[in-house]
Amino acid sequence: MGSNLKIFKLPLDVYYRIIGGVIIAAFLAIPLLGNNYWTHIVLEIFFLAYMGQSWNILCGSTGQLSFGHAAFFGVGAYTSSLLLLKWGISPWVGMIAGGLIASLLGIIIGVVSLRLSVKGVFFALATLAVAEVLKLLALFWMSLTNGASGILIHFSGENIGMFSFGVHKKYLYYYVIFLMLAGVTYLSHRIKRVRLGYYLVAIRENEDAAEMLGINSVKYQTVMIALSGFLTAIGGTFYAQYYQYFEPDIVFGTARSFEFIFPVILGGGGNVMGPIIGAFVLQFFEEATRAIIPSTFHGFHRMLYGLLIVVMIMYLPKGIVSLIERKKDEIVSKFKMKSGGK
């Protein structure tokens, strides 16, 4: 009897790890159920969460808004796909090449914008302009990008396999995006606990004061733009290889940029778990409204989608994570009271 009671006296961190482990194991088991619909839905949640984390690494940590992250996304999609189709280079290599090009683009945006003191909403508009310019370039450079017709990725017998990313099995893509999400989440977590993270908090809270303390705000913000661009471009490669078709408006469009922002706003910006929670809520909300609302009201579920965002901004400006943290604090307080304050 005594040994059983000891189970309930474990530290709270242990309970969190146990619950987290069970949740991760449950998600890893989903493809094994053989239901492609749910595998696809959860895969899309992971993808949306990954893209939200990539955006949050820049905007949540530095406070600089970006409305044009589709620029990096499109660079990743086009670079890896063109390298595969024109020169037979594996997308595993192409995604790194696309990431590096996106990082270079991010450095250029950061150096030019931040040195000219283009910040806040003006920085957001500058990134949006870059994405629009790249979309027009992709539309009119027909010989390279196929213009508005887009790019269709064909897989033949010799290029099907993990080397070429053409796995043709949904569960393998599922595990790839799961690992990508785990990696970017861990990276976001680590950044907050090293010197760079403390510098970024100082810059976000008061840039002038940070500069007076000797922190080079332009340098560190540019580093984060480059890193965020690299990660976003890798997401672009995954998208291109999973859906196997895209055109300029799909990957460079404004709607794509805001798709990355919404899970962060809903879940909570600047928080590691915010984009993940936001992605889950958004995806399930969209699927539920699409299933409930008749097809004759085409696009109405999008209106509800937008209404949800507005309501969340009004009543939970810091996202769902802030509500969870309040509830967690209440539970911790009760737990300490029951355990005698230890």
DSSP per-residue codes, 32-53:
GGT-HHHHHHHHHHHHHHHHHH
Two tokens, residue 177: 């995006």
220 in any annotated domain: yes
Percent pLDDT > 70 in the chain is 85
210 in any annotated domain: yes
Look at residues 162, 134, 122 and name the one whose alpha carbon lies nearest to residue 236. 134
The Cα 122–Cα 266 span in angstroms is: 23
The Cα 186–Cα 208 span in angstroms is: 30
CB 135 within 8 A of CB 252: yes
Render pLDDT for 36-88 as a digit per residue (tens, 0 to 9).
888 999 999 999 999 999 999 998 888 888 999 999 999 999 999 999 888 88
By mean pLDDT, which of 87-101, 111-125, 127-141, 245-259 is the weakest?
A: 111-125
More confident residue, 55 or 213: 55
2 in any annotated domain: no
183 contacts: CB under 8 Å, gap ≥ 6: none
pLDDT for position 1: 44
Render pLDDT for 159-180 as a digit per residue (tens, 0 to 9).
555 556 655 677 889 999 999 9
Radius of gyration, alpha carbons of the chain = 22
Q: Is 216 helix (H, G, I), strand (E, B) or coil?
A: coil
61 in any annotated domain: yes
In the predicted model, is pLDDT for residue 2 greater than 50? no
The Cα 5–Cα 7 span in angstroms is: 5
The Cα 5–Cα 279 span in angstroms is: 38
The CA angle 274-277-280, to the nearest 5 degrees, is 145
What is the average pLDDT value for the chain, to the nearest integer?
85
- pLDDT interval class at 335 (50, 70, 90): low
- pLDDT interval class at 264 (50, 70, 90): very high
First to last CA, the chain: 22
3 in any annotated domain: no
pLDDT, average across residues 217-240: 95
CA 82 to chain centre: 23
The Cα 263–Cα 58 span in angstroms is: 15
- pLDDT interval class at 256 (50, 70, 90): very high
Q: Are strands 245-246 and 151-152 parallel, antiparallel or unpaired?
A: antiparallel
Q: Is 166 helix (H, G, I), strand (E, B) or coil?
A: strand
Residue 144 has, within 13 A of its CA and on its CB side, a CA count of 10
Highest mean pLDDT among 69-73, 111-115, 156-160: 69-73
165 in any annotated domain: yes
More confident residue, 133 or 86: 133
Look at residues 214, 187, 230 and name the one whose alpha carbon lies nearest to residue 61. 187
123 contacts: CB under 8 Å, gap ≥ 6: 64, 65, 66, 113, 114
**Partners of 161 in beta bridges:** 166
- pLDDT interval class at 119 (50, 70, 90): confident
Specify the amino acid at residue 47: F
In the predicted model, is pLDDT for residue 342 greater than 60? no
More confident residue, 310 or 156: 310
Q: Is 246 helix (H, G, I), strand (E, B) or coil?
A: strand
The Cα 243–Cα 246 span in angstroms is: 8
Render pLDDT for 294-325 as a digit per residue (tens, 0 to 9).
666 666 767 777 787 788 778 887 888 888 77
Q: Tell me how many domains the chain contains.
A: 1
By mean pLDDT, which of 148-157, 215-224, 258-267 is the weakest?
A: 148-157
Helices (H), the chain: 2-6, 12-29, 36-62, 70-87, 91-115, 121-140, 142-145, 170-191, 195-205, 207-212, 217-243, 248-252, 254-267, 274-292, 300-315, 320-338
- pLDDT interval class at 187 (50, 70, 90): very high
Look-up: residue for tokens 């090449």?
97
CB 339 within 8 A of CB 294: no
Beta strands in the chain (DSSP E): 151-152, 245-246
The Cα 212–Cα 189 span in angstroms is: 27
**Cβ atoms < 10 Å from Cβ of 129:** 14
21 class by beta-carbon count within 10 Å (0-12 exposed, 13-18 middle, 19+ buried): exposed
In the predicted model, is pLDDT for residue 10 greater than 70? no
4 in any annotated domain: no
Full residue range of the structural domain in which residue 266 is found: 9-338
